[in-house]
Amino acid sequence: MMIDIPPGWFVIAGAFIIPVLRGMLRQIAMLGLPTLALIAIWTAPADAGWQAQILHYQLSLLDFTAVGKVFATVFAIMTLVGGIFAMRTASTLELSAAFLYAGCAIGITSSGDLISLFIYWELMALGSTTVILAANTARSYRASIRYLLMHAFGGSVLLVGIVWHVYTTGSIEFTRIDLQGPAQWLILIGFLVNVGAPPFSAWIADAYPEASPSGAVFLSAFTTKTAVFTLLIAFPGTGILIPIGCFMIFYGIIFALLENDARRILSYSIVNQVGFMVTGIGLGTEMALNGAASHAFAHIIYKALLLMSAGAVLYETGKRKCTDLGGLYQSMPLTTICGTIGALAISSFPFTSGFVSKSMISQSAAYEHITWVWFLLAAASAGVFLHAGIKYPWFVFFQKDSGLRPPDPPKNMQFAMMVFAFLCIALGVYPEPLYAILPYPVDYVPYTADHLVTQFQLLLFAGLAFFLLLPMMKRTETISLDLDWFYRILLPKCGRAIAGVASRTNSAAEQWVGAQLSMLVKRSYDHEQDKPKGYIAKLWPIETMVIWVGVLLAGYLLFYYL
Is the confidence at residue 538, as pLDDT, over 70?
no
The closest alpha carbon to 112, from 2, 233, 5, 224, belongs to: 233
Greatest mean pLDDT range, 70-84, 452-466, 533-547:
70-84
**What confidence category does residue 523 fall into, taking pLDDT thresholds of 50, 70 and 90?**
low
**DSSP string covering 258-319:** H--BHHHHHHHHHHHHHHHHHHHHHH-SHHHHHHHHHHHHHHHHHHHHHHHHHHHHHHHHS-
Q: How confident is the model at residue 106 (pLDDT cuts 50, 70, 90)?
A: very high
What is the average pLDDT value for the chain, to the nearest integer? 88
Judge whether residue 111 has pLDDT over 60.
yes
Share of the chain above pLDDT 70, in %: 94
56 pLDDT exceeds 70?
A: yes
Question: Mean pLDDT over residues 100-106, rounded?
Answer: 96
Main-chain phi, psi angles of 206, to 5 degrees: -75, -40
**Residue 472 clears pLDDT 80, i.e. is over it:** no
Q: How many CA atoms lie within 13 A of 418 on its CB side?
A: 10
Average pLDDT of span 445-461: 84
Could you count the other beta carbons within 10 Å of the beta carbon of residue 496?
10
Neighbours of 499 (CB within 10 A): 10
Asked whether the predicted pLDDT for residue 83 surpasses 80, the reply is: yes
Residue 2 has pLDDT above 60, yes or no: no
Name the packing angle between helices 114-133 and 138-169 (round to 10°): 170
| In the chain, where the domains are located | 517-562
Q: How many CB atoms lie within 10 A of CB 33?
A: 26
What is the pLDDT at residue 403? 82
Rounded to an integer, the average pLDDT of 132-152 is 93
Q: With helix as H, strand as E and coil as C, how does 111-132 read?
A: CCEHHHHHHHHHHHHHHHHHHH
| CB-based contacts of 289, cutoff 8 Å, min separation 6 | 67, 232, 236, 280, 281, 439, 440
Residue 551: pLDDT band by 50, 70, 90 thresholds?
confident
Task: Count Cβ atoms within 10 A of the Cβ of residue 545 and give its class: 0-12 exposed, 13-18 middle, 19 or more buried.
Answer: exposed
Instruction: Provide the pLDDT for residue 67.
Output: 92
pLDDT at residue 51 greater than cutoff 80 = no
3-state secondary structure of 476: coil
Question: Are 297 and 357 contacting, i.e. CB atoms less than 8 angstroms apart?
Answer: yes
Q: Is the pLDDT of residue 421 over 90?
A: yes
User: How confident is the model at residue 526, as a pLDDT?
Assistant: 56
| pLDDT computed for residue 165 by the predictor | 94
CA 166 to each of CA 57, 115, 159, 561: distance values in angstroms, whole numbers, following the listed order: 10, 10, 11, 49
Decide if pLDDT at 105 tops 70: yes
Q: What is the mean pLDDT of residues 368-389?
A: 85
Q: How far is CA 342 from the centre of its chain?
A: 20
User: CA end-to-end span of the chain, whole Å?
Assistant: 77
Indicate if the pLDDT at residue 40 is higher than 60: yes
The radius of gyration computed from the CA coordinates of the chain, to the nearest angstrom, equals 30
Helix (H, G, I), strand (E, B) or coil at 384: helix
Q: What is the pTM of this model?
A: 0.86
Q: What are the tens digits of pLDDT across the range 312-365?
A: 999 999 888 888 888 898 999 999 999 999 999 998 889 999 899 888 998 888
Among the listed ranges 222-236, 300-314, 385-399, 494-508, which one has the minimum average pLDDT value? 385-399
The pLDDT of residue 260 is: 86
Q: pLDDT tens digit string along 272-295?
A: 999 999 999 999 999 999 999 999
pLDDT-derived band at 533 (thresholds 50, 70, 90) equals low
Query: Is residue 534 very low, low, confident or very high in pLDDT (cuts 50, 70, 90)?
Result: low
CA dihedral 470, 472, 473, 474 (to 10 degrees): 90
Whether residue 199 is preceded by a cis peptide bond, meaning omega within 30 degrees of 0, is yes
Q: What confidence score (pLDDT) does residue 216 get?
A: 94
CA distance linking residue 45 with residue 40, whole number of Å: 9
DSSP for 395-421, written as a single string = HHHSSS--S--PPP--HHHHHHHHHHH
Of all residues in the chain, the percent with pLDDT exceeding 90 is 54
Encoded amino acid at 543, one letter: E
DSSP 322: G
Rounded CA gap, 88 and 102, in Å? 19
Of the spans 154-163, 383-392, 441-450, 459-468, which averages the highest pLDDT? 154-163
Cβ atoms 11, 102 nearer than 8 A: yes
* Model confidence band, residue 75 (pLDDT cutoffs 50, 70, 90): very high
pLDDT for residue 359: 85
Cα–Cα distance for residue pair 450/559, rounded to 1 Å: 91
Specify the amino acid at residue 199: P
162 compared with 358, residue with greater pLDDT: 162
For residue 531, the cross-strand partners are 528
Residues 33 and 11: beta-carbon distance below 8 Å: yes
CA distances, 436 to each of 78, 360, 448 (Å)? 20, 15, 20
Residue 471 has pLDDT above 80, yes or no: no
